[in-house]
Amino acid sequence: MLRSIDIKGLAVVDQLSLDLQQGMTVLTGETGAGKSILLTAMKLCLGERADASLLRPGVSKADLSLDFDITTIPACQQWLSDNDLDDQQECLVRRTVNSEGRSKAYINGQIVNLKTLQQLSEHLISIHGQHAHLDLLHSHKQCALLDASLPTQTTLTNCQKSFDKWKTLNEELHLLTDGNDDNDSEKQLFAYQITELEQADVLEINYDELVQKQVIASNMSQIIEISENQINRLYENENHSIYSQLSSTCHELERLAELAPEFSAVTEQIQEASIQIQEASRDLRTQIDKQDDDPEQLDLLNRQLDSIHELARKLQIEPQQLDEKYQQLVSRLELLENRNERLATIQQEIHQAEQSYQEQAALLHTARVKSASKLSKEITKTLKTLGLPDGEFNISINYLGEQKPQRNGLDDISFHVTTNPGMPASPIGKVASGGELSRISLAIQVVTTQSNTTPTLVFDEVDAGIGGGVAETVGVCLREIANDRQVLCVTHLPQVAAQGHHHLFVSKQKESEQTKTKIESLNPTDRIHEVARMLGGIDLSDKTLAHAKEMVEKAI
């Protein structure tokens, strides 16, 4: 679960530290108070693209972090271990964004790329946004929702692996048959490029390390000069060094401590500082004595870098990619040299790979049909509790066996619904109104979430467009989901807010001509007042307060 979130310098948040708990936590507040900023911070920490416009005016960097308790998430523990990112079952995710829009991401203190961050997030949080009903209109989203409900992802994974193999073989065939019949010109080019790389003798060189060495070597005289000056200033100047001044101070303080023992602690602090200065000076001397201002070494480094840059320019790649490019050239040359022999076998391999794919796609189709039947019944049942008593939902799956292989199978998946008795089910985008679409989306999210193993679920105003008894039903559903996991819910509905185990209130304050967002945890009394505000506005009557109290106590 998500234990805490820390935000600095993001939009209307100057600095915010928030501790979170298990169960259902609702976030409420006036429109524009900044409830969405928590979700923005979460999404950034989980790999969403960064934008400098998100920074708070006047700050140079936004710093965001999420702290997760993963003691009960073995899949996350295993993922961290597999990626050498584990830290004694800790999981701290951090993201920084500067004023130029550049960002850095960290997992347990180690810098990572966004793809890695996104992979980790799948084990930690699932965010259901307020526009999920619009995503629902896209066929690929419908397919993804159905696949997420499969009892196991094995059939989907096997289909994808079969497709990848088939695709790789076809790409190889294209390389073999593309160009001249004998591919002599390509072979000559590859052989020349391979020889040029080998003769340059740069393949075993780590480019980033080489650049670092060159920077140090080119600044060596300045490094030595600065170090010598500071060693002299710290320790080696007998009369005017910091060490000699501290020694004199220590001597006077020792006399002071003899006269007044309460100054002994201060004396010890200065003595420790003196020892630290002495040790730092010796370490600095040891380091600088290892340095060598060698023009010949610098010349060699410059020549190696020039050679690498020239080769990278010719091959139209980054300098760090030379070794990878070399391996690719060797492989392609070997492929072309054995072209005829390979052509004799690859067609058969492609045929076998396509047969294997067809088998896996058929198995995936069977699994989807079975899961779709169960899912359709559960969503239909939930729709009836959300103010659509005549709602009927079903998932249409059309198997396109003659179609060219696709990575996610050969199924054409479409969500159908009818909300009026006697009317046939049609694609949801054609028959559902905006309000109905929101309820259908919520029903799908509620049902699919119940089988979801993600420990933290976030619902961002997914209850928009509903009210009354339906809103209470939604709140009850979310509270039930939170019985064995953490649920965070941003809502404007008092019926939903009353169902939370915990209640956070978001407000904005104006300080020094700037707006700041504040989040506070409400006690039972304040919570009743907030639910009452959501029910009746600013002027709260005794009747409204009594109603709010009844709603909160009923949920408890």
Query: Residue 161 has what pLDDT?
Result: 96
Query: Residue 389 has what pLDDT?
Result: 87
Report how far apart the first and last C-alpha atoms of the chain are (Å, whole number): 22
- Residue 476 forms part of a structural domain: yes
Residues in the chain: 556
- Residue 192 forms part of a structural domain: no
For 104, phi then psi, to 5°, come to: -130, 145
- CB-count exposure of residue 342 (10 Å: 0-12, 13-18, 19+): middle
- Residue 498 forms part of a structural domain: yes
Query: Residue 130 has what pLDDT?
Result: 62
Distance CA 8, CA 11 (A): 9
DSSP per residue, 29-56: ESTTSSHHHHHHHHHHHTTPPP-GGGBP
Query: Residue 385 has what pLDDT?
Result: 84
Q: Are 9 and 512 in contact (CB under 8 A)?
A: no
Q: Are 6 and 17 in contact (CB under 8 A)?
A: yes
Q: Are 545 and 529 in contact (CB under 8 A)?
A: yes
- Residue 252 forms part of a structural domain: no
Range of the domain at 13: 1-124+454-536+548-556
CA neighbours closer than 13 Å in the CB half-sphere of residue 326: 19
Tokens 């992979």 sit on residue: 119
Chain centre to alpha carbon of residue 484 = 24
Tokens 């109290």 sit on residue: 549
- Residue 78 forms part of a structural domain: yes
Q: Which of 480, 479, 394 is nearest to 440 (CA)?
A: 394
Q: Are 128 and 443 in contact (CB under 8 A)?
A: no
Query: Residue 91 has what pLDDT?
Result: 92
- Residue 170 forms part of a structural domain: no
Distance CA 504, CA 27 (A): 5
Distance CA 512, CA 49 (A): 31
Q: Are 133 and 440 in contact (CB under 8 A)?
A: yes
Distance CA 190, CA 336 (A): 10
pLDDT along the chain (556 residues), means of 10: 92 87 91 78 90 86 93 88 83 92 91 91 81 71 88 94 95 75 75 89 86 88 89 85 89 88 88 90 88 84 90 90 90 80 87 96 96 94 86 93 93 91 82 70 79 80 75 87 89 92 88 78 93 83 90 86
Query: Residue 182 has what pLDDT?
Result: 54
- CB-count exposure of residue 327 (10 Å: 0-12, 13-18, 19+): exposed
Query: Residue 530 has what pLDDT?
Result: 93
Query: Residue 26 has what pLDDT?
Result: 95
Please report which helix (H) or strand (E) contains residue 111, including its range: strand 110-112
- Residue 101 forms part of a structural domain: yes
Distance CA 274, CA 280 (A): 10
Strands 502-511 and 23-29, by their bridges, are parallel
Query: Residue 11 has what pLDDT?
Result: 84
Please report which helix (H) or strand (E) contains residue 307, including its range: helix 295-315
Tokens of residue 485, six digits: 């996991």
Distance CA 162, CA 159 (A): 5
The pTM of this model reads 0.62
Q: Are 7 and 64 in contact (CB under 8 A)?
A: yes
Total domain count, the chain: 1
Tokens 């978001």 sit on residue: 506
pLDDT digits (tens, 9 = 90+) for 472-509: 888 888 898 888 889 999 998 999 999 999 999 998 87
- Assign residue 502 the CATH number of its domain: 3.40.50.300
Query: Residue 97 has what pLDDT?
Result: 92
Distance CA 382, CA 130 (A): 19
Tokens 């619904």 sit on residue: 417
Tokens of residue 233, six digits: 């200033």
- Residue 410 forms part of a structural domain: no
